[in-house]
Amino acid sequence: MFDIQAVRSDFPILARQVHGQPLVYFDNAATSQKPQRVLDAIAHYYEATNSNVHRGVHTLSGEATDAYEGARVRIGQWFGVTDPGEIILLRGATEGLNLVAQVLATRLSPGDEVLVGETEHHANIVPWQQLATTHGIIVTKIPVNARGELSLTEAKALAVPGRTKVIAVGHVSNAIGAINDIPGFVQLAREVGAYSVIDGAQAAPHMRVNVAELGADFYAISAHKLCAPTGIGVLFGRRPLLEELPPWQGGGDMIERVSFSGTTFNVLPWKFEAGTPNIADTIGFAAALDYLDSIDFDAAIHHEETLHATLIQAMQAHPKIQVLGSPNKWVSVCSFNVVGAHPTDVGTLLDQLGFAVRTGHHCAMPTMEHFGLAGTARASLAFYNTREEIERFMNALDRVIGMLTD
């Protein structure tokens, strides 16, 4: 049994009030809240073990290195990746996608094409556009269909062997919540000899993701949307590719030997991890995964899916609300507009009533443009939300609609 009240009590912030109202946190697609276990792990690291990793002969450095490298293995275990060399620890999904674009640039020539999903987060669009400027590559969008999913059929029509060199798509769109056909896109990339780059930032919090099974060349995730601290994320890459690609940033940790007559680079994964890493938050990430195991992640997802179905049903049935997209499969994101009201006004009034929702373009301006919207309000759920919060939300929305429309 998934004990929702016990789970909520693990998240201290959920007990707070906003404008004198109990907080209802529906902004989980922007970042998730953190359980006490994660906060404790970070505090414990700084209180008992803090030291720089990899270079020290002293006890603390050894302990910090063991904890940091142990966290890497733990993270790999969660995502089905057994080779620590394929797990590059970075600042977030954004940094992972920038790393991929910049190192792949050394393998691209002017006129080569990168197919990019129309519903991508800006983190999976802009790094490719930058290569268009610096390397003369062509960025072509894979169109979104009417339901809000990336069209594999249209991607197949666009992909050309010898010209298409990268297919970069999101596993789940953060503005709509649509789950895209990643096995299909990975297969297509393989068929045309292109690299597959998957933005998994919005998938990881809502489903079991087995990176090895998906088989993409690169898969980027963000820890802070998965109950872990901000400032940590992972780029998973296939070893043969990572071996052959050049390093990204230069500095400490990523080198084997430095001399003014030439420098040699460290082995994987450290070749791609220049400088002191985010040790504490990597340990916090492993603690978050331990926490998710302790509450039964599958049961948590099931609870969240039930909430989402309830929310979507109520929202779609509401005469004054328009929900963005209707994918065949989606995660617990609900992007919506109140007919005749601006999303910012909706979000501001909801905040007064204690509800945290996001408003605007959600870092996916091309998605908004496609659907002819300036922005939306977005309620995004997590497993620690409740059915009662959804009922209160629908009542609050009715009040807000009464205030904003006639």
Ligand X SMILES: *Cc1c(COP(=O)(O)O)cnc(C)c1O
For ligand X, the binding residues (CB under 6 A) are: 92-94, 121, 123, 170, 174, 199, 201-202, 222, 233
Tell me 168's DSSP state.
E
Residue 235 CB, nearest approach to ligand X (Å) = 11
Give the sign of the dihedral formed by CA 331, CA 210, CA 114, CA 31: positive
Cβ proximity of 249 and 91 under 8 Å? no
Cβ–Cβ contacts within 10 Å for residue 53, how many? 19
User: Parallel, antiparallel, or unpaired: how do β-strands 358-360 and 164-170 relate?
Assistant: unpaired
- C-beta closer to ligand X: residue 64 or 172: 172
Cβ burial of 232 (10 Å; 0-12, 13-18, 19+) is buried
- C-beta closer to ligand X: residue 64 or 178: 178
Residue whose C-beta lies closest to ligand X = 92
Strands (E), 80-237: 87-90, 113-117, 138-142, 164-170, 195-199, 218-222, 233-237
Residue 124 CB, nearest approach to ligand X (Å) = 6
Residue 217 CB, nearest approach to ligand X (Å) = 17
Give the sign of the dihedral formed by CA 49, CA 50, CA 54, CA 56: negative
Angle at 264 between CA 259 and CA 269, to 5 degrees: 135
Residue 269: asked if its preceding bond is cis (omega within 30°), the reply is yes
Residue 93 CB, nearest approach to ligand X (Å) = 3
**Distance in angstroms between the alpha carbons of the first and the last residue of the chain:** 45
Cβ proximity of 268 and 242 under 8 Å? yes
Cβ burial of 111 (10 Å; 0-12, 13-18, 19+) is exposed
HSE (side-chain half, CA atoms, 13 Å) at 330: 28
Q: Is 334 a catalytic residue?
A: no
Catalytic residue among 274, 363, 365, 394: 363
Residue 94 CB, nearest approach to ligand X (Å) = 3
- C-beta closer to ligand X: residue 222 or 337: 222
Angle at 26 between CA 296 and CA 233, to 5 degrees: 60
Active-site positions read 363
